[in-house]
Every structure is written in C-alpha cells, then in structure tokens.
Copies of this chain bind each other. A is one copy, B any other.
C-alpha cells in the first residue's frame, strides 16, 4: 500500500466511511490501506468524529479491543430534521394537491432523490437502536423511502407486491381490509424473499387508518417474522375515532383537513418531532 499524507488520508477515510454506513471497520483495515500506524489512524478518526457529530452528519462509534473498529451511523435527529420537514410541510400544503376522493398528490415530492435521502436518514436515526434484518414496503410509492432508509442502515429491502408476479416464483398472498375505504385488497410476498424469524422495519409513504401496514404485519406472521418498527412519511389525521389500527409508529408529517373546507389542508411535522417543538 502506498503511503498517504494525513490530508489525503482524511479525505479518503471520510469518503470510505460515508459509503459504508453501519459497517464495522477494523482499524487494521485503515492502517494497511494507508500504510499508517494505528495511532495515526485513531487521531484521524477523532477529527472525523468531531466534524461528523458537530455537523449532524452522524455518529462515529469506536469499539475497542481485538474485535474492535469504527462504525459510521448516519443520523438526522429531530432537531436537525425539523427545518427540512417544515419546508416540506409548506410544499405539501398547496391546495392543488387535494385530488377527487380526498387523495393527496405527493408523487413529485417522492420523485426527489436528495429529499428521499434526507428522509431515509431520519428513519435510520429513529430506528438506529433497534435490531433489524430487513426494511420492507409495499409497492409502489413507499419504495424510494424504503431504499433510502435501508441504504443508511446497510440492510436489504424486501418488496411486497400487489399481485403475484411471474418473475418472483412461489409466493404467499393475504387479503386485507383497507381501513379508510373498507375495501378488500391482496398483497403478495415471494417465498424466497424473507427468511424465517427476520426482524422487519416496515416503511410506507402514507398511512390513514393503518390497514396497509397492518396487512404487511399479518404477512410477516406467515413467514414467522416480526415487526421491529413502523415508519411512515405522512400520516393522515382524518381517521374516525376507534378506527386506527396501529398506534406504535414514527411519522414525519401529519396531514389534516379543515372541517369547513376539504380543499384546505393543514400540514404539520409528525410524531418524530413531538419532543422538539
């Protein structure tokens, strides 16, 4: 390995850590990679740690001992996330987003990869302490959120389909009742997509009563898997009393309508920010 100057090494280590989140990297990996002493690597890591933690990029966890090393955990806590979500609320409040039937147009928002990255970092923060094996969502609109979250947690994504797709092999299907419209839907997961006893983080773009998420949880039981957490970008407050199917979840945005005028939305930060404001 060629020797690098400290300045170049800091740049290289920063980019290396950022592209490998939630991965334990032994100090010897860096020492060999840069032909440097472990003590120099430790000094470099201290500098990176300070910048990452002060700037709100994430935490650098150092584990001592033979099995030790360093792990970068991307973070975006409520304090840091609030300005991003407040700006998003303003965008979501535009009245032309309300479609016939009370639906809500956010496809353009979900089409912004940089914003999805931020949102993924928020969910990765919210669920960083839990043991999770995979991130799950149901097609279609939750997909970018699931990938952004999984990317920051270094986990695979499992995708539930609405129909049984020929390119997936044998599959398990369940029927579920959509809470808000009381209609029956089907969701399907390929047999080989999920291992037994997996701990699953469920994410989705929008939740009203929670019927779809509840359906995914029932699907997990078919695989002897379990829920490790639920995160939704937008939760609707327009749920009749007693009809909410789910109570333990993290939401980033809350949407309600003013009684007097259904076209006028009230959009506020979700329960992720409950302690902050």
Contacts and interface: CB of A to CB of B under 8 A. Distances in A.
Interface of A: 6-8, 10-12, 14-15, 18-19, 47-48, 50-52, 55, 57, 99-101, 103-108, 111-114, 116-117, 139-141, 143-144, 147-148, 150-151, 154-159, 161, 165-169, 190, 192-193
9 contacts: A11-B14, A15-B57, A99-B168, A104-B167, A107-B193, A111-B159, A116-B147, A144-B157, A147-B148
A100 B156 CA distance: 26
B47 A8 contact: yes
Number of copies: 2
A113 B7 contact: no
A158 B167 CA distance: 23
Task: Label chain A's interface by main secondary structure.
Answer: helix
Contacts of A140: 139-140, 143, 159, 161, 165
A117 B8 contact: no
